[in-house]
C-alpha cells in the first residue's frame, strides 16, 4: 500500500493552516461569522467542528459559497478554487455553469442588494439562461471574443429579478460560448495530428487513424480529444438536442495532466496547456506534482529526440534548441514513440522509487 510521505503530509497541514488563517482574517475584516457562512450556504452549523474550516473543501461550489458569504470578488474565489482546490478556475465561456456563478459573484460583490442571497439563485438563473440559449441556438452572431473580453463585459451586467441582463449578454455573445475551450483543445489536436502524421509518413503515406492511439491513451481521453475543438461546449448539431456540454470537459487538474503526459508533453508544455484551461502550473511543492516535475526533467534529458522533434514541428518554441533540421525519418518515428511511452516510462520510474504514479489508470 502506498503511504503518504511525512513531507507530503506536512505540506498538506501547512495548506490547511493557511486556509484557516485566511478565513479567520475574513471574519475579522467583514464581521461575517462562520455561523453566518453556514447559514448563507445552507449547511448546519456546529461550533465544535465547522467542516469547511477544519478541512479544505473539495468542491468548487463550496469555495464559491464561502467566498460569496464574505462578499469576495471573483479573483479571490478563483484563487481559492485553483490554489487550494487544485481545480480549474471559473470560466466565463462555460455558459450553463461557470458563467452563472461568475455573474452571481459579481452581483453579490457589488453589494447592490445586500439582502439577496445570490448563492441560492443559481438554479433559477441557470434555467433562465438555458431558455435563452435554446431559443437562439440557430442564430449566429458575428465574431468570437477572447475570454478576457467576455470576463470584462460580464462585469458590467447588473442584477435584475428576471435575469434579463445576463440573458441579453448570452444572446449577444453566443458565438463566443460555442467556441469554449477551443484553444486548449486546439493544442491537443495539434499534438495528435502531428503524431499521427509522423506514423502516416512511416507507413508510405497511408493515413493513421486516431484509434491507433488507444494503445497509449485511455478511452475517455480518446473520446474527449476526438470532438471538434471548436464546438466542445455546443449542442449536438445533428440531432439539435438541447443538451450543452455534449462532451464533458474534465474538471480535475490531474486528469488534464494525464492527457498531456499521454501525448508526450514535458513540464513547459503542460504548464502552457494548464494555463489555457484555467489551472495553476505544476507545483514543485505539491507531493504528486513536485515528483512529476523532477522525473520529467530526468526523462527529457534521456530522450533528446523528443525536444528536437517538437521544435521541428513547432509544438514548442525553444530559442536555445540546437539545429534539428536533419532528423531522419527513423529518428522522428523514435521521438514520437518515446512521447507516447512517456506515461509508462514514468510509471516504471515511480515504482522503482516506491512511489505511486497518479496519472495512469490501473
- pLDDT, residue 231, reads 46
**Euclidean distance between CA atoms 15 and 187, whole angstroms:** 32
Decide if 132 contacts 162 (C-beta within 8 A): no
Q: What is the pTM of this model?
A: 0.66
Decide if 347 contacts 357 (C-beta within 8 A): yes
| Residue ranges per structural domain of the chain | 1-87, 90-179, 182-352
**pLDDT tens string 42-66:** 998 987 789 999 999 989 999 999 9
Q: What is the mean pLDDT of each run of 10 residues along the chain (362 residues)?
A: 43 78 95 95 87 92 96 95 89 80 91 83 86 61 52 67 72 62 86 94 88 88 70 42 53 91 97 90 90 96 94 79 71 96 95 91 67
CB atoms within 10 A of CB 23: 17
- pLDDT, residue 135, reads 66
* DSSP result, 219-230: HHHHHHHTS-TT
Amino acid at each position: 500500500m502506498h503511504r503518504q510521505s511525512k513531507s507530503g503530509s506536512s505540506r498538506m497541514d501547512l495548506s490547511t493552516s493557511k486556509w484557516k488563517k485566511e478565513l479567520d482574517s475574513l471574519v475579522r475584516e467583514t464581521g461575517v461569522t462562520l455561523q453566518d457562512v453556514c447559514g448563507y450556504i445552507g449547511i448546519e452549523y456546529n461550533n465544535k467542528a465547522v467542516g469547511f474550516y477544519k478541512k479544505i473543501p473539495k468542491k468548487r461550489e463550496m469555495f464559491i459559497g464561502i467566498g460569496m458569504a464574505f462578499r469576495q470578488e471573483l479573483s479571490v474565489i478563483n484563487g481559492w478554487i485553483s490554489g487550494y482546490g487544485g481545480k480549474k478556475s471559473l470560466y466565463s465561456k462555460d455558459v450553463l455553469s461557470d458563467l452563472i456563478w461568475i455573474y452571481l459573484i459579481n452581483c453579490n460583490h457589488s453589494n447592490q442588494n445586500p439582502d439577496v442571497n445570490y448563492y441560492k439563485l443559481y438554479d433559477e438563473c441557470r434555467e433562465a439562461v438555458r431558455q435563452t440559449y435554446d431559443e437562439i441556438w440557430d442564430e449566429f452572431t458575428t465574431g468570437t471574443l477572447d475570454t478576457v473580453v467576455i470576463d470584462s463585459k460580464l462585469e458590467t451586467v447588473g442584477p435584475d429579478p428576471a435575469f434579463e441582463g445576463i440573458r441579453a449578454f448570452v444572446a449577444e455573445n453566443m458565438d463566443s460560448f460555442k467556441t469554449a475551450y477551443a484553444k486548449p483543445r486546439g493544442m491537443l489536436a495539434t499534438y495528435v495530428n502531428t503524431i499521427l502524421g509522423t506514423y502516416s509518413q512511416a507507413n508510405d503515406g497511408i493515413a493513421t487513424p486516431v484509434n491507433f492511439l488507444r494503445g497509449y491513451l485511455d478511452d475517455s481521453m480518446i473520446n474527449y480529444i476526438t470532438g471538434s475543438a471548436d464546438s466542445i461546449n455546443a449542442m449536438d448539431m445533428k440531432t439539435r438536442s438541447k443538451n450543452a456540454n455534449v462532451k464533458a470537459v474534465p474538471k480535475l487538474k490531474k486528469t488534464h495532466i494525464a492527457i498531456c503526459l499521454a501525448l508526450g508533453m514535458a513540464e513547459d508544455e503542460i504548464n502552457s496547456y494548464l494555463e489555457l484551461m484555467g489551472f495553476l502550473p505544476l507545483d514543485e511543492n505539491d507531493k504528486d506534482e513536485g515528483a512529476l516535475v523532477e522525473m520529467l526533467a530526468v526523462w527529457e534529458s534521456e530522450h533528446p529526440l523528443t525536444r528536437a522533434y517538437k521544435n521541428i514541428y513547432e509544438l514548442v518554441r525553444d530559442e536555445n534548441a540546437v539545429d534539428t533540421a536533419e532528423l531522419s525519418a527513423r529518428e522522428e518515428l523514435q521521438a514520437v514513440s518515446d512521447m507516447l511511452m512517456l506515461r509508462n516510462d514514468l510509471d516504471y520510474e515511480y515504482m522503482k522509487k516506491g512511489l505511486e504514479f497518479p496519472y495512469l489508470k490501473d
